[in-house]
């Protein structure tokens, strides 16, 4: 077959045991590519790769480049096409591919391909010993690829918390419900949230700090620690640390015991929750009615599952973005996070980023009308004399445009097309 007649495919593939990320790739041969994934040395038979989505396209290189540009912020690794995965993101990826001008048709892989894959994997999976690996090596490898294991740096916690009125913390119980490895004497293994609140307990006049340790993390050999509740209080005899291991407690933020603490004890919830469970986490925390100060993805303000919270003014941006996190090995890694809260923000410094002015003063380069004649503005320019809804990126929302006389027009993401070409996702806002 000559090269130009080769079929071109885009696929989304996932290892069944690594369900917080997926690979978006291109190939001329879907079956062979899947076999390649599943015959990789060192893959356990339980961890086969399966296609989540496959389709034929007429220009796979173009689709691949456009995916890279559109989802740059969702790349788990800069040099590889590994993207964060959850149900919502997956929908976004598929939607993007299906609406791309090079999309031809979705392909449904026949089940015997999967059967074949399982067969191959069974024949080729060597034991740990055969692979020359110790359980520790595997654990380290697994930790490296788990994208929930992004730890917040102490300076980022400090920088945000110190923006709020100190009075707010007085006599309050702070609940850090995704903060494992807690020990006041062990700053290597203690979350920066827990450390910050312990070290500033008196300064903030806190009543209590409660942190919960999640037992459901990577536990390849079923030796992981149990979920526990760590409580820190100040008594007449000094600081007291208590660790409680209730029977059957998972430490998950949605465990009944964690929910009871949230509803009955907590005044302010403060953490960086797992990226892969952000939708469930936001639902519980926002609807609890408690005050919260949490870190999540920068793009939540333009992501369908979260937009309604911003529209209903149940959540708004905190002061700072968070661009650096620590890996389990305490190495710096980059990811686009932002603080979110329901605590009032005073004189938001980011207002200064916005350039609010009459439409005709906005440089041509930064204002365009899309194929539906919707105005799309960029670079934090905001027209103050335009009555119709217009499209903006995450930046003005995080800079506080919704506090400056504008509202979200609806609770949906907006995908502009200009001359048939899809642009970055936005939301529609409108002057009130
Ligand atoms: C993004 S990390 C942040 C950890 C810590 N809060 C910090 O800021 O450094 C999220 C943590 O939540 C843990 N986690 C995952 N699922 C969880 C759940 N259902 N409940 C509580 N914690 C969970 C992960 O293991 C991970 O350590």
Nearest protein Cα to ligand 1, atom 16: 274
SS (H, E, C) the chain: CCHHHCCEEEEEEEECCCCCEEEEEEECCHHHHHHHHHCCCCCCCCCCEEEEEEEEECCHHHHHHHHHHHCHHHECCCCCCEEECCHHHHHHHHHHHHCCCCEEEECCCCHHHHHHHHHHHHHHCCCCCCCCCCHHHHHHHHHHHCCCCCECCHHHHHHHHCCCCHHHHCCCEEEECCCCCCCCCCCCCCCHHHHHHHHCCCCCCCCEEEEEECCCCCCCCCCCCCCEEEEEEEECCEEEEEEECCCCCCCCCCCHHHHHHHHHHCCEEEECCCHHHHHHHHHHHHHHCCEEEEEEEHHHHHCCCCHHHHHCCCCEEEEEEEEEEECCCCCEEEEEEEEEECCCCCCCHHHHHCEEECHHHCCHHHEEECCCCCEEECCCEEECCCCCCEEECHHHHHCCHHHCCEEEEEEEEECCEECCEECCCEEEEEEC
Q: Is the C-beta atom of 274 inside 6 A of ligand 1?
A: yes
CB atoms within 10 A of CB 99: 11
Nearest protein Cα to ligand 1, atom 10: 274
266 alpha-carbon distance from chain centroid: 24
The last residue of a domain, from among 330, 346, 362: 346
**Domain-located, residue 143:** no
Q: Is the C-beta atom of 179 inside 6 A of ligand 1?
A: yes
**Domain-located, residue 138:** no
**Domain-located, residue 422:** yes
Residue carrying structure tokens 């990811």: 335
**Domain-located, residue 74:** yes
65: Cβ–Cβ under 8 A, 6 or more apart, which residues? none
Output the pLDDT for position 272: 95
Output the pLDDT for position 406: 97
The answer to whether 343 touches 367, Cβ cutoff 8 Å, is no
Q: Are 358 and 340 within one domain?
A: no
Atom of ligand 1 nearest to the CA of 157: 8
Q: Are 14 and 111 within one domain?
A: yes
Q: Is the C-beta atom of 21 inside 6 A of ligand 1?
A: no
> What residue ranges of the chain have pLDDT lower than 70?
1-4, 40-47, 76-78, 110-147, 181-189, 217-225
Distance 68 CA to ligand 1 centre (A): 27
Output the pLDDT for position 122: 31
The last residue of a domain, from among 324, 346, 368: 346
User: What is d(CA 313, CA 396) in angstroms, rounded to the nearest whole number?
Assistant: 15
Distance 229 CA to ligand 1 centre (A): 14
Distance 316 CA to ligand 1 centre (A): 22
Q: Are 281 and 314 within one domain?
A: yes
Q: Is the C-beta atom of 66 inside 6 A of ligand 1?
A: no
CATH number at residue 285: 3.40.50
Output the pLDDT for position 335: 83
Q: Are 87 and 158 within one domain?
A: no
Q: Is the C-beta atom of 152 inside 6 A of ligand 1?
A: yes
Q: Are 342 and 358 within one domain?
A: no
Q: Is the C-beta atom of 173 inside 6 A of ligand 1?
A: no
Q: Are 394 and 336 within one domain?
A: no
Q: Is the C-beta atom of 250 inside 6 A of ligand 1?
A: no
Output the pLDDT for position 227: 84
Candidates 157, 161, 193, 214: which one to mutate for ligand 1, based on the most atoms within 8 Å of Cβ? 214
**Domain-located, residue 77:** yes
User: What is d(CA 367, CA 381) in angstroms, rounded to the nearest whole number?
Assistant: 8
Distance 343 CA to ligand 1 centre (A): 22
Atom of ligand 1 nearest to the CA of 212: 21
Nearest protein Cα to ligand 1, atom 11: 274
Distance 274 CA to ligand 1 centre (A): 5
Distance 269 CA to ligand 1 centre (A): 14
Residue whose C-alpha is closest to residue 282's, from 322, 213, 340: 340
Residue whose C-alpha is closest to residue 193's, from 172, 214, 207, 177: 177
Distance 178 CA to ligand 1 centre (A): 4
The side-by-side arrangement of strands in the sheet containing 390-392 is 367-369, 375-377, 390-392, 426-431, 406-414
pLDDT per residue as tens digits for the range 328-344: 777 888 888 999 999 99
Atom of ligand 1 nearest to the CA of 275: 1
How many folded domains does the chain comprise? 3
Residue whose C-alpha is closest to residue 193's, from 263, 267, 268, 272: 272
Output the pLDDT for position 119: 34
pLDDT per residue as tens digits for the range 31-47: 888 888 887 645 556 66
Q: Is the C-beta atom of 280 inside 6 A of ligand 1?
A: no
Q: Which domain holds residue 19?
A: 3-133
Instruction: Kindly report whether the global pTM for this prediction surpasses the value 0.75.
Output: no
**Domain-located, residue 146:** no
| β-sheet bridge partners, residue 103 | 57
Q: In the chain, how long is the greatest CA-to-CA distance? A: 83
Distance 273 CA to ligand 1 centre (A): 5
102 alpha-carbon distance from chain centroid: 28
Distance 350 CA to ligand 1 centre (A): 28
User: What is d(CA 90, CA 96) in angstroms, rounded to the nearest whole number?
Assistant: 10
Phi, psi for 276 (deg, rounded to 5): -70, -15
Q: Are 234 and 338 within one domain?
A: yes
Residue whose C-alpha is closest to residue 209's, from 282, 294, 259, 268: 268
Q: Is the C-beta atom of 20 inside 6 A of ligand 1?
A: no
pLDDT per residue as tens digits for the range 90-100: 888 998 998 89
Q: Is the C-beta atom of 193 inside 6 A of ligand 1?
A: yes
Q: Is the C-beta atom of 60 inside 6 A of ligand 1?
A: no
Output the pLDDT for position 171: 97
């Amino acid at each position: 077959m000559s090269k130009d007649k080769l079929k071109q495919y885009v696929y989304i593939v996932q290892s069944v045991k690594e369900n917080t990320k997926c690979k978006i790739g291109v190939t001329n041969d879907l079956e062979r590519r899947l076999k390649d994934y599943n015959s990789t040395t060192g893959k356990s038979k339980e961890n086969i790769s399966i296609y989540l989505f496959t389709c034929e396209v007429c220009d796979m290189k173009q689709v691949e480049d456009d995916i890279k540009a559109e989802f740059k912020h969702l790349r788990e690794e800069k040099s590889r096409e590994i993207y964060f995965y959850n149900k919502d993101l997956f929908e976004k990826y598929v939607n993007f591919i299906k609406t791309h001008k090079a999309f031809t048709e979705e392909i449904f892989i026949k089940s015997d391909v999967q059967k074949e894959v399982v067969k191959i994997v069974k024949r080729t999976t060597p034991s740990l010993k055969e692979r020359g690996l110790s359980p520790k090596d595997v654990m380290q490898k697994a930790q490296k690829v788990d994208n929930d294991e992004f730890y917040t740096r102490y300076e980022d916690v400090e920088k945000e918390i110190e923006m709020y009125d100190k009075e707010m913390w007085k006599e309050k119980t702070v609940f850090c419900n995704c903060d494992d490895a807690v020990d006041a004497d062990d700053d290597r293994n203690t979350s920066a949230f827990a450390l910050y609140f312990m070290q500033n307990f008196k300064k903030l006049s806190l009543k209590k700090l409660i942190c919960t340790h999640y037992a459901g993390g990577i536990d390849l050999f079923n030796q992981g620690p149990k979920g526990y509740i760590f409580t820190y209080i100040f008594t007449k005899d000094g600081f007291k640390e208590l660790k409680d291991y209730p029977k059957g407690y998972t430490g998950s933020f949605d465990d009944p015991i964690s929910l009871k603490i949230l509803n009955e004890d907590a005044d302010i919830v403060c953490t960086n929750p797992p990226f892969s469970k952000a939708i469930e986490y936001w639902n519980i925390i926002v609807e609890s009615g408690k005050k919260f100060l949490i870190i999540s993805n920068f793009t939540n303000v333009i992501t369908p599952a979260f937009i309604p919270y911003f529209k209903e003014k149940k959540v708004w941006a905190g002061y700072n973005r968070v661009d650096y996190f620590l890996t389990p090995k305490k190495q710096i890694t980059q990811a686009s996070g932002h603080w979110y809260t329901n605590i009032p923000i005073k004189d938001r410094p980011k207002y200064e980023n916005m350039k609010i002015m009459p439409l005709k003063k906005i440089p041509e380069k930064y204002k365009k009308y899309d194929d539906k004649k919707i105005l799309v503005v960029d670079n934090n320019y905001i027209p103050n004399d335009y009555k119709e809804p217009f499209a903006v990126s995450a930046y003005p929302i995080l800079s506080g445009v919704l506090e400056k006389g504008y509202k979200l027009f609806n609770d949906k993401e907006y995908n502009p097309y200009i001359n048939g070409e899809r642009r970055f996702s936005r939301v529609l806002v409108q002057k009130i």
